[in-house]
Structure 1
Amino acid sequence: MNPRTEVSLPLELGRLLPSTSPTRWREAVLRAGQLLAPGWAVAPVPATPGALALVLYAVSADTATTPEQVTLAEVTALLDAAPDLDQEPATTRLLIHHALESGGHPIGDRTHPASRTAARLLHRDEPLDIPLALGGGVAGPSALRYALPRLRALLAGLTEEQLSGLPSVEPIPVEASAHVTGAVKIVTSDSWLPLGCPVCRRAEGATVAVDGDLATFTCRKRHTTTDHQLGARHVHTALTRTSPGGKPVRGDLYVVHPDQPADADPRQLCVWLRAPVGALY
């Protein structure tokens, strides 16, 4: 992300809240916004709203309370818990897993926004197939591992007495859709591949939509998929650039792969789109 780009807290909250969000998750996200607002201008970190919302969601589910009733001491106890041997926040991870599974929507359930958020923040890349001495044999770090210390710093100035008087932060809804006359193409640094319907294999003439943290691809035969290659933030960025006001996209829609920065320009990111025809031969 460009360090000069302003990170809006209301927008980050909106990215976590699809229009169909269940009550507890909505309450957790809104409470996270309240707690983060005082320190946000000093240290805006996009991953922290989702991390704090997950913590509030998990603690409130575990204690049979509401996210607003979770105390600052309960939150900081998790943030200060000792990491495991890989320096991962094992205590927080286990509590999140337990809350999601007890609620009937474990990680991997793409129908629930809390499960989708947990999947993104808890994901660890597979270990490299190289000797242990060279860094192999250990899975990559999770986004949650880096979000929690930053979250601790953002909450450092708060006291229990201040919690009840914090103003609410109204999320900015993140909703967009457009019909694409060509294909939706997923872009990496060295490739672009058209996304096809998993049912009928059709690639052209689809409708792409974003609702909070969920991106969907609906083919001409109205088969809808939530392909893992469609990152909601990345699709929203692509639609904002190429389809203002929801106008149809004439031709192909280039969407950056979720592993790449969401604000990357696909035509500059991919060598095959950046180079003139024939320049690589």
Structure 2
Amino acid sequence: MTITLPQVMGDLLPTGAPPQWRVAVDRAAQLLAPRWPTGPVERAPLGVFASLALILYALHRTQSQEPAAVPMSALRDVLDGDLDANDEPVTIKTLIVEGLSAAGHRVHDAEPVMCRAAARVLHQDAPLVVTTPFGAVDVPIGMGGAVPGPSELRSAAAWLKRMLGALDEDTIAALAPAPQPAGPVNVMVIGQVLIISDDSEALVQCAECQQDERGQLAVDGDQVTYTCAQGHISAQRQLGSGHVRQAIARTQADDGVSGPLYVADARLPADADPATLHPVRAACL
């Protein structure tokens, strides 16, 4: 199933999200709506929507520009900014960090949602490290090591530059309003909730009593919780909010899921179909 703009907006707008962040998300959706992939084959890079919303929010915080009124010239200047030696968009990274700092936050703060979004798009996988008698040492590239990365922001920035580069103020003024974001989701799952990857599966359980059936699965923004039949609430950080929304949508059940709920692993794209992943389970889905 194609990931819709309302879904990605909803993933960035938990209950209580700051007002100016909401405006930045709304503006990002308005700018991207005419170019958002709608077919089953096309797919925007991971983090592209969050990256644009973060840029708009950071410009608001650092340059006192309302997110909904950031001129295209300012946005284009940021997208045309410098790259580092690994082609990472260092100008955008610096802007996002400074924007959060101006609002009194850091990238790795647990709250608010902008910090979690920034941590995801800025993250780079660390290079290989070995432990020696002299401490931890990076593995040289020629011996199987690698430079960190790439971050989600790297491909997202290139896509945004290509998609938005031709926009002018007249075109932007004629854009339709942004769609309404998807709201919180709360659904009863009578059976188990299983996380499916291409080679394994994992069971969602209550962290306190290990019950795994007749639970309430809730999505609010990018946060997922599981409430067991005993009423214990567990944060489910291994479940991606977009992945859960997609899994529930596949069931076409409005008032609850009667059987097991199969959710794609959070490390996979949110529109990944569990039926195509795990060969043992594929025949059952």
- TM-score norm. by structure 1 comes to 0.83
Of 263, 266, 275, the residue aligned with 1:255 is 263
Between 162-171 and 87-96, the greater mean CA deviation after superposition: 162-171
5+ long unaligned stretches in structure 2: 130-138
User: How many residues in Structure 1 have an aligned counterpart in Structure 2?
Assistant: 271
Of 19, 25, 30, the residue aligned with 1:23 is 19
The answer on whether the counterparts of 1:190 and 1:272 sit within 8 Å (CA) in structure 2 is no
Of 143, 148, 171, the residue aligned with 2:157 is 148
Amino acid at match of 1:229: Q
Q: What are the Cα deviations for residues 132-169 of structure 1, in whole angstroms up to 9, with x where unaligned?
A: 02662312211110011111112122223544443312
Displacement, 1:38? 4.1
Partner SS state of residue 185, structure 2: strand
Displacement, 1:208? 0.8
* 2:273 aligned with 1:265: yes
The answer on whether the counterparts of 2:13 and 2:222 sit within 8 Å (CA) in structure 1 is yes
Of 197, 211, 221, the residue aligned with 2:206 is 197
Partner SS state of residue 86, structure 1: coil
Displacement, 1:37? 3.3
Of 215, 228, 233, the residue aligned with 1:224 is 233
Map of 1:1-281 to 2, 5 A cutoff?
A: 8-40=4-36, 45=44, 47-128=47-128, 131-133=140-142, 136-242=145-251, 244-250=253-259, 252-274=260-282
User: d(CA) in 1 for partners of 2:277 and 2:43?
Assistant: 25
User: d(CA) in 1 for partners of 2:273 and 2:13?
Assistant: 26
User: d(CA) in 2 for partners of 1:41 and 1:189?
Assistant: 25
The answer on whether the counterparts of 2:223 and 2:237 sit within 8 Å (CA) in structure 1 is no
Displacement, 1:7? 5.3
User: d(CA) in 2 for partners of 1:239 and 1:177?
Assistant: 10
The answer on whether the counterparts of 1:16 and 1:50 sit within 8 Å (CA) in structure 2 is yes
5+ long unaligned stretches in structure 1: 277-281
After superposition, the CA RMSD in angstroms is 2.8
User: d(CA) in 2 for partners of 1:226 and 1:106?
Assistant: 22
Amino acid at match of 2:24: A
Q: What are the Cα deviations for residues 150-208 of structure 1, in whole angstroms up to 9, with x where unaligned?
A: 11112122223544443312224244222223332222112111123334444333211
User: d(CA) in 1 for partners of 2:76 and 2:112?
Assistant: 26
Match of 2:133 in 1: none
Amino acid at match of 1:198: A
User: d(CA) in 2 for partners of 1:135 and 1:181?
Assistant: 47
User: d(CA) in 2 for partners of 1:225 and 1:132?
Assistant: 41
Amino acid at match of 2:269: P
Displacement, 1:243? 5.6
Amino acid at match of 1:258: A
Between 75-84 and 257-266, the greater mean CA deviation after superposition: 257-266
The answer on whether the counterparts of 1:32 and 1:52 sit within 8 Å (CA) in structure 2 is yes
The answer on whether the counterparts of 1:176 and 1:246 sit within 8 Å (CA) in structure 2 is no
Displacement, 1:275? 7.6
User: d(CA) in 1 for partners of 2:24 and 2:99?
Assistant: 13
User: d(CA) in 1 for partners of 2:252 and 2:217?
Assistant: 11
- TM-score norm. by structure 2 comes to 0.82
The answer on whether the counterparts of 1:54 and 1:96 sit within 8 Å (CA) in structure 2 is yes
Partner SS state of residue 141, structure 1: coil
User: d(CA) in 2 for partners of 1:265 and 1:16?
Assistant: 22
User: d(CA) in 2 for partners of 1:198 and 1:98?
Assistant: 37
Displacement, 1:89? 1.2
Displacement, 1:274? 4.0
